Every structure is written in C-alpha cells, then in structure tokens.
C-alpha cells in the first residue's frame, strides 16, 4: 500500500510535520484517484517513490516531501493551483507551480542536441526554479521516471533518455549530486544504446571479482597508513559507472 510504504520511508525522521505530509498524501491520492501510470501502478505511487529518492538524498524537509507527493496534481488532474494554495499555502504552492512549469516544457522546448540550445534550456530551467527545492524534487521525479521508462514506447523512451542525458544529468553534476547523475546517465545509456549497454554490463559483471580485489589491494595499505598517522578516516573505492566507462572507451578508441 502507498500509505504504508510512505510511513516506512519516513520512519525515524523525527523532525517531520507528519500532519502536513498526511494531508498532502490524502490530497494527492484523491486528485489522482483512478489514474494509472504506464507501468500499471496507481499514480500516487510515483509521488511516494519521489519521496523515497529525496530521503536517500537526506532531504528531510516537510515542505519538500509534501510538495513531492502532489507535484503532478496541477499537470495531470483537473485541480487548479488555487486549490493547492487554499489547502497548503504559498510555500508549497510555489514549489508545485515551479515543477508544473518545468514539466510543461519537457519534450516541448527540447528539440535537438545542439550544444547552444541544450545550454539555454538548462539555464531556462534554473531561472524558473526560484526555490532550490524545485530542482531537487525535479531530479527525483526524473530519476523515478527513468527507472520506469521500460513501460513506454520506443520513441518516448529515446526522447526522454536523450533529454535526460543532455539536460538533467549535467544539471545534477552541476549541483554536485553524483549518485543522481550516475544513475541518470546509466539509464539513459541503457535506452539510447541498448546493445552497447548490455555488452558492457556483461563484461563489467564478469570482471567484478577481479575489480573488487584490486580496490581492496589499494585500500588496505592506505587505510593502515592513515590509521598510523592518527587520522580518523575511512578509505573506500567504487567501480566507475557504465556510462563513464563507455565514454572513456570512446575517447580512447
């Protein structure tokens, strides 16, 4: 159940205004009642999954979480923005309005991958998002949409993947949100070049054990030296994500 999942996601975060979040959940569930996503899920699940991503980003802000739960109401239902303002006030209304304006541009302003046009579109998005929370919720919204892209037809998959790779992944990089950027890039790569993606994923998985051994080989002496120096730190390593490997292979032929 969406409500139960939301409660589990937010469990233990004592700073939240749960009364506000509960009211926005009810509002969103009612507004989207009967609507299904292409994946077959009830629409309210999308808002809950966007909240999950925000929590993963450590965005424990009641207004952000409340806004995420109703961010598609104006765009995808018959409810006007004035209803949200009457129910939840100016702050949430401003965030939802910013997200609605950006959503209405997606797939409309963006027509090609020309560098100047892409950069202008990024600037346009940033200029419309007067509240930083608009951008953060938009990243979470786009990431969940990319995670469920399999349900769309091929033309939409490619359009949304291209837009994500050219617009939203670089913006996430600019904001320093590496985990969002990496997943957006890998998912875009998966739908734009499926054969290359599958081949590379299989190769990387095959060599996973050797790669982890190499990381451990470097970690151990570094950790020992740091400990002996009296520095409190933890050494960790990660494999490059697939799109990054792909781009490096292209650059090096």
Examine the residue annotation and report whether 186 is marked as an active-site residue of this protein.
no
The Cα–Cα gap between 177 and 167 comes to 14
SS3 percent helix, strand, coil of the chain, rounded to 5, is 75, 0, 25
Catalytic choice (76, 83, 131, 193): 76
Burial 94-118 (b: 16+ CB within 10 A, else e): bbbbbbbbbbeebeeebeeeeeeeb
Count of C-beta atoms within a 10 Å radius of residue 38: 12
136: CB partners within 8 A, 6+ apart: 54, 57, 59, 64, 175
Examine the residue annotation and report whether 83 is marked as an active-site residue of this protein.
no
First and final CA of the chain: distance in angstroms?
49
For the chain, how many residues are written? 253
Residue with tokens 């990054």: 244
The Cα–Cα gap between 98 and 67 comes to 11
Catalytic choice (75, 83, 87, 131): 75
Active-site residue set: 75-76
């Amino acid at each position: 159940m969406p409500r139960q999942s939301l409660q589990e996601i937010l469990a233990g975060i004592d700073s939240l205004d749960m009364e506000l979040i509960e009211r926005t959940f009810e509002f969103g569930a009612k507004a989207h009642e009967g609507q299904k996503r292409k994946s077959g899920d009830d629409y309210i699940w999308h808002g809950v999954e966007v909240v999950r991503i925000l929590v993963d980003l450590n965005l424990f802000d009641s207004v952000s979480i409340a806004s995420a739960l109703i961010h598609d109401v104006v765009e995808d239902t018959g409810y006007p923005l004035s209803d949200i303002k009457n129910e939840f006030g100016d702050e949430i209304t401003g965030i939802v309005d910013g997200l609605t304006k950006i959503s209405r541009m997606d797939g409309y302003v963006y027509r090609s991958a020309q560098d100047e046009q892409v950069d202008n579109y990024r600037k346009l998005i940033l200029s419309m998002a007067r509240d930083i929370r608009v951008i953060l919720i938009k990243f979470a919204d786009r990431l969940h949409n990319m995670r469920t892209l399999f349900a769309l037809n091929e033309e939409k998959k490619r359009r949304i993947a291209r837009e994500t790779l050219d617009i939203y992944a670089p913006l996430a990089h600019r904001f320093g949100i590496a985990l969002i950027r990496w997943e957006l890039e890998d998912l875009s790569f998966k739908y734009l070049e499926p054969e290359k993606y599958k081949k590379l994923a299989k190769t990387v998985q095959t060599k996973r054990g050797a790669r982890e051994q190499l990381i451990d080989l470097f970690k151990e002496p570094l950790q020992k030296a740091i400990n002996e120096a009296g520095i409190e730190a933890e050494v960790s390593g990660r494999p490059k994500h697939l799109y990054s490997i792909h781009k490096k292979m292209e650059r090096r032929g």
